[in-house]
Amino acid sequence: MGLTTGLRYRVASTLGTAVLVVGAIVVANHPFAQRVLTSLPVSGRLVPTTLTDGALTVAAATALVVVFVALGPLFKPRPRRILDTISLTVRRLFAASLALAAVGYLDYTYRLPRTTLVMMAVLLGIWLPAWFVLIRRRPVAGSHRAVLVGDDHTAMAELFETTDLSIVGYVAPSIQYDPEPSEQGSTTRFADGGTHQQPRLDDVECLGGLSRLEEVFVEHDIDTAVLAFERSDRAEFFGTLATCYDHGVAAKVHRKHADSVLTTDTSVVGLVDIQLEPWDWEDRALKRLFDIAFAATGLIVLSPIILPVAIAIKLDSPGPVLYGQERTAEFGETVEIYKFRSMVADAEADTGAKLSEEDAGGVDSRVTRTGRLLRRTHLDEIPQLWSILVGDMAVVGPRPERPELDADIESGITQWRRRWFVKPGLTGLAQINGATGHDPERKLRYDTQYIHQQSFWVDIRIVIRQVWMVVSDTAAVVTTDDSSEK
């Protein structure tokens, strides 16, 4: 079939999967296939079972839904090698088979019989990998069709003039520039999708604004997007990366801008690839299930001490029990998180946002007596379990900072926005190694290391170390208090 791209790949992959699944069920439901399967020495207690036409139709529809959900990533036209394609297809099919087996244990009228399910899984284990290998997009050295995406017209023009890629056009959001430089430095702004040609880009077609990026990818059968943003904008830059990921388009950035994003290689000259998915889908799903279980268990176990903590805070100093802050979250968005108040009310009214000296081992006069105890035992973090439960945070991830502190740190460390590639966490690799915002470079190294190594088992190891640290810190507080009383 050759190289199938864009919309054609999506149609071929979805229709082919549907035909193969239905075909496998029909073959597996045939009496002859049932007899062959149950006659095998390893068939165990399998009993030949065939479905009537009506029941078979509904069971096939159920199987189609489950298989389509499981194979979702394979419907994206992303370049894959043969072994990667086979491995991903088999793993996804195995997950679908387990889901269908679970349905079989429920009292579902039109479930697939075990003999039919086993035979279907065997047939699809052969047919589906072969089909996706046949229609896969081959990884190629270079790209046949590329598009410039960005808001920095100077960088876009430079890339157009120097790159070896075949640029079919450019996509740009609202760009502010001076078409005819004047002494007053006046500028002209064009809305997103404006068709006015940008300076030095007269030889390349304007394909529209970022709102049309998805259409551009499909209409022009784009393989690669070359990003040329003036800065990694919180909405436009990350939105472009998300669109590239959804459409299986490779994203590249110039080497001199590579420190601002996650890249696979920063040692080469010219363009480097951006990592659009630095973590595995299954791990993300497992991670979310773990987050929910951890947060729910934590809130239940710690519920008896929530009221005493609230009373202690109110008796110690005037002000609210909870303290809310806006923090930077995944992809540069912001989220409101809450903690038990450990400082005097309006502690930053005069000084503005600043890091606590306690994070550097010093003394912060803004912290109350109760607050100091809460911080040493980590009990001030309890309300964040709710943020984890509703999905605003994760148990493990880079600790979120306030946007104003992020902006201040980023002015000295341009790579700081790398931390935005994952959901912020209650704890992380930086926390268990004692790295705080007072040493942002060290903290960034740990956070970036976590992003590249993230998996469910890495999270488990970090949580175990953090729990041990909490127990040790609490024991130290109790021991210190006992010694002072004596």
What percent of the chain stands above pLDDT 90?
A: 16
Mean pLDDT of the chain: 76
Pairing assessment for the beta strands 224-228 and 250-254 based on DSSP bridges: parallel
- CA 462, distance to chain mean position in Å, is 19
Q: CATH number of the domain at 146-273, please?
A: 3.40.50
Distance CA 22, CA 394 (A): 39
Cβ count within 10 A of residue 149: 28
In the beta sheet, which residues pair with residue 182?
Answer: none
Cα distances (angstroms) measured from residue 451 to each of 235, 258, 304, 414, 463: 20, 16, 35, 17, 16
Query: What are the tens digits of pLDDT across the range 347-382?
Result: 666 665 666 666 555 667 788 888 889 888 889 999
Q: Is residue 435 predicted with pLDDT exceeding 60?
A: yes
**Residue type at position 439:** D
pLDDT of residue 178: 44
**Residue type at position 232:** S
Residue 467: pLDDT band with limits 50, 70, 90: very high
Q: Is residue 335 predicted with pLDDT exceeding 60?
A: yes
**452 versus 88: which is more confidently predicted?**
88
Query: What are the tens digits of pLDDT across the range 110-142?
Result: 567 777 788 888 899 999 999 998 887 665 544
Residue 385: pLDDT band with limits 50, 70, 90: very high
Residue 275: pLDDT band with limits 50, 70, 90: low
Query: What are the tens digits of pLDDT across the range 220-268?
Result: 878 888 888 776 545 677 778 778 876 778 888 766 555 555 555 544 4
**458 versus 437: which is more confidently predicted?**
458
Query: What are the tens digits of pLDDT across the range 134-189?
Result: 887 665 544 468 898 887 777 788 888 777 788 888 888 754 444 454 444 444 44
Q: Smallest Cα–Cα separation from 141: which of 165, 160, 158, 170?
A: 165
User: What residue segments make up the domains of the chain, in order of their start?
Assistant: 6-135, 146-273, 281-485
Distance CA 419, CA 445 (A): 10
- CA 195, distance to chain mean position in Å, is 33
Q: Smallest Cα–Cα separation from 92: which of 264, 285, 249?
A: 285
Q: 401: which DSSP letter?
A: -
**Residue tagged 């997007």 (tokens):** 225
Neighbouring residues of 337: CB distance < 8 A, sequence distance ≥ 6: 324, 325, 327, 383, 384, 387, 392, 393, 400
| Mean pLDDT, residues 446-469 | 85
**Host H or E run for residue 70:** helix 53-70
SS3 418: helix
Residue 112 near residue 63 (C-beta atoms within 8 A): yes
Which pair of structure tokens corresponds to residue 350?
């005069």
Distance CA 389, CA 418 (A): 24
